[in-house]
Structure 1
């Protein structure tokens, strides 16, 4: 499904057919159409969706975004808008915005756009400005990890439960040390839950959430809506979803719609650029790029990726892979995971544009001190 420039006469025809079929072609023509960029998505040679983009002094406005009626709801428009978002980000534009019909705001919110200002009426319809900031201060957030088995803080090597090492009997104590060091996030993994297929260590989550101010993402064993509710009720800011997103897309998409995509952190375990599941024992035929593209289309904007060949080995992160992903999806909030062994590794991840890095074993093995993390 290629995306490419579209001649203006075809753009106008699409606008008229989809948006204002009762009006003439002149009604859908814009005064500055000649100054804009007009892209279209094609399927089997047929023009399916169009969008027009205009440079507004460093920001980007898109207008007349239209998808053929019989093709709507199939992800074509989503793919085209994501293309425009990524293009604007690559061009270094400050923000991207549109004047959206009030009935369409939910679509744009999936892309991280927010309503600004007041509504107004035009052509008998209610409109509001939707906007998303693209250029932000470069900052990579350090996210320490706590893995839980039997209520204790442990680390595994490459996901192997037989290679378990207990670092602290009291995860809350560890979490408070992270908070005292100025860290703001926590990646909390219920390894018992992951093994059992249901959340088990929610009391640990509840204790940490209740006695620290850390923003916690919690994963492991989240398989049902009941599990999701337990996680949020116990104080997690984000629910981390991994294998279920691979094996049960329908259920995960339902949660995205029910709770909001901003409440989930998508986890992608990868080996040779292919998604792995089942405790990393099974490698699928799904590429990391197809996996991310699909869920970005459902509104997911926060992802952490683990190269399973690196995790727990302190052998350095997969910066080349992560760089490729970031270049492919520049507007994604991308968090690197696995392999970090020293501060130089973190500096390398920050350099390629990661918005976050999960650090576990390197902290527990004293390869990186909490004081050293304050520079990020």
Structure 2
């Protein structure tokens, strides 16, 4: 494979803006990053003039649902998402096969998955999935985690949800069981991610020692004492603002980022028709389908602002539930650009939002071969017009994408999916 040099380009390395400078990669790996005048390029290299552009690490969506659909990983890649962290998929053999395929192919986003989730018997989501294994009490926790690890799970997802957001009253995992799950995972070197649905479940998950919380309550903002505790205990939060915005019945007049994305020509032209329709009109797969009157998206924005102020690591994740036969308005790839915009609306700087979608998820999920533009890292790269550290919307102005050093042909993708 011929070496590639991107020259005279701003470099956001995953934490800060460097440059202008040049980045060289070959055989899927970054080999040189410099802000000094570049040496004369070898005749064998492909040189790209990056004047006026910014080079980013490949984006990482820290909360997705791929549903076994290979097309979702291609759709993600078309919008610069080179890694997806899948938060529930089965059966195990299908999850293993798709993770393996994604790891071997440069035309799909790479994928890590929790596999099957831990939930209460008769609870969410098992009430509609009778074959889903559940955890009947703390004495079952160790075996559950061992089974998921044997199936290849990269982390353990724990559901702490009583079904209220779905119009049901269901049993939920208790503190003793969630604690036992967190401890069993920790003994085996696996992270735990807790799906929380309300203030009570967020507190229970934190009390139980899970590593990460995903989602935020909509009935009220997290209070100062709770946020301080999250910070003191070095927990991590994946807010999934894109999903919460689409789900919440109350939003401010300006909070329509997800729906309006379908009208952005930088996005719409690369969406398959069914994805564009789902984004503009779909209502399936939303996490709050029977919201109470006090559910307000503004509470989630306030919580993110407080978390950011306390120094809590915030990761960009969309909770996309989209697939071609499911009209979820939060779609793979494209909706991460909504997430970035919403993180900035919540108070993160554009650079902090970019970190939340690059080096931060790589660090906290142990993906130390990516997330940064540095020698030795994977050549997962996104070249955009303008400077997204000043205008986060510039992440949508994609000029080129590389996955493991292979350039993704966006134009061919656009023509194929039109």
Classify the TM-score, shorter chain: 0.3 to 0.5
Q: Which has the higher contact order (CA 8 A, sep 6+)?
A: 2
> Relative to total residues, which structure has the larger strand share, 1 or 2?
1
